[in-house]
Structure 1
Amino acid sequence: MADLAVVILTHNESIHLARAIRHIKDVANEIFVVDSFSTDDTVEIAKAHGATVLQNRFVNYAKQFQWALQNAPITSNWIMRLDADEIIEPDLANEIASKLPSLPSDVTGINLRRKLVFMNRTINYGGRGILVLLRIWRRGLAEIEDRWMDEHMIVREGRTVTFVGGFSDHNLNNLTFFTDKHNKYATREAVDALNQRLHFMPTPESMSVEKSSLQAAAKRYVKEQVYNKIPFQISTLAYFLYRYFARVGFLDGREGLIYHVLQGFWYRFLVGAKITELQVATSHLTRPEDIKAELQRITGLDLETAPPSNPGIVISG
Structure 2
Amino acid sequence: MNTQFSFIILTFNEELHLGRLLQSISDLNAPIFILDSGSTDNTLAIGEQYGASFLQHKFENHPRQWDYALKNFSITTPWVVCLDADQTVTSELKTRLINFNAEDHAGINGIYFNRKNFFKGRWIKHGGYYPFYLLKMFRYGIGYSDINENMDHRFIVPGKLEVWKDGIILEENLKENNIRFWIEKHNRYSDLVAQEEVERMKLMRTQTIKPRFFGSPDERTAWRKQLWWKLPRYVRPMIYFTQRMIFQLGILDGRSGVIFHFLQGFWFRLIVDIKIDEIIKQQNHEKTS
Query: Do both proteins adopt the same fold according to a TM-score greater than 0.5, normalized to the shorter chain?
Result: yes
> Hey, what does 1:227 align to over in structure 2?
228
Matched position secondary structure for 1:130: coil
Tell me how far 1:284 sits from its aligned partner: 4.2
> Hey, what does 1:91 align to over in structure 2?
92
| Bigger mean CA deviation after superposition, 267-276 or 20-29 | 20-29
Contact between 1:6 and 1:28, CA under 8 Å: does it hold in 2? no
> Hey, what does 1:176 align to over in structure 2?
180
TM-score (norm 2): 0.92
Contact between 1:2 and 1:100, CA under 8 Å: does it hold in 2? no
> Hey, what does 1:165 align to over in structure 2?
167
> Hey, what does 1:246 align to over in structure 2?
247
Contact between 2:78 and 2:102, CA under 8 Å: does it hold in 1? no
Distance 1:85 1:22 in 2: 12
Matched position secondary structure for 1:195: helix
> Hey, what does 2:12 align to over in structure 1?
11
Contact between 2:9 and 2:33, CA under 8 Å: does it hold in 1? yes
Contact between 1:113 and 1:166, CA under 8 Å: does it hold in 2? yes
- Structure 1: any 5+ residue segments left out of the alignment? 287-317
- Structure 2: any 5+ residue segments left out of the alignment? none
> Hey, what does 1:37 align to over in structure 2?
38
Q: Sort the Cα spacing of 1:283 and 1:103 in 2 relative to 1 into closer, same or farther, 3 A.
A: farther
CA RMSD of aligned residues (A): 1.7
> Hey, what does 1:153 align to over in structure 2?
155
Distance 1:145 1:206 in 2: 7
Tell me how far 1:184 sits from its aligned partner: 0.9
Contact between 1:134 and 1:152, CA under 8 Å: does it hold in 2? yes
Tell me how far 1:251 sits from its aligned partner: 0.4
> Hey, what does 1:296 align to over in structure 2?
none
Opposite residue 51 of structure 1, the aligned amino acid is A
> Hey, what does 1:305 align to over in structure 2?
none
Tell me how far 1:102 sits from its aligned partner: 4.2
Tell me how far 1:92 sits from its aligned partner: 0.3
Opposite residue 102 of structure 2, the aligned amino acid is P
Distance 2:104 2:179 in 1: 41
> Hey, what does 1:187 align to over in structure 2?
191
Distance 1:21 1:204 in 2: 36
Of structures 1 and 2, the one with the larger relative CO (CA 8 A, separation 6+) is 1
> Hey, what does 1:301 align to over in structure 2?
none
Opposite residue 100 of structure 2, the aligned amino acid is K
Q: Sort the Cα spacing of 1:28 and 1:193 in 2 relative to 1 into closer, same or farther, 3 A.
A: farther
Tell me how far 1:103 sits from its aligned partner: 2.6
CA offsets 1:193-250 (integer angstroms, 9 cap, x no match) = 11111245xx24331379xx722221221222x2222222111111111110111101
| Bigger mean CA deviation after superposition, 2-11 or 262-271 | 2-11
> Hey, what does 1:23 align to over in structure 2?
24
Tell me how far 1:178 sits from its aligned partner: 1.2
Distance 1:12 1:150 in 2: 20
Distance 2:7 2:206 in 1: 26
2:208 matches 1:206: yes
Matched position secondary structure for 1:260: helix
Tell me how far 1:9 sits from its aligned partner: 0.8
CA offsets 1:78-132 (integer angstroms, 9 cap, x no match) = 1111000011111101112213434332101011111111111111111112211
Distance 1:28 1:271 in 2: 42
Contact between 1:2 and 1:28, CA under 8 Å: does it hold in 2? no
Aligned residue pair count? 280
Q: Sort the Cα spacing of 1:32 and 1:176 in 2 relative to 1 into closer, same or farther, 3 A.
A: same
Listed as ranges, the matches of 1:61-100 within 5 Å are 61-100=62-101
> Hey, what does 1:134 align to over in structure 2?
135
Contact between 2:116 and 2:171, CA under 8 Å: does it hold in 1? yes
Q: Sort the Cα spacing of 1:40 and 1:244 in 2 relative to 1 into closer, same or farther, 3 A.
A: same
Contact between 2:211 and 2:222, CA under 8 Å: does it hold in 1? no
Tell me how far 1:2 sits from its aligned partner: 5.7
% identity of equivalent residues: 32
Matched position secondary structure for 1:219: helix
Contact between 2:8 and 2:35, CA under 8 Å: does it hold in 1? yes
> Hey, what does 1:300 align to over in structure 2?
none
Matched position secondary structure for 2:277: helix
Tell me how far 1:17 sits from its aligned partner: 0.5
Opposite residue 61 of structure 1, the aligned amino acid is H
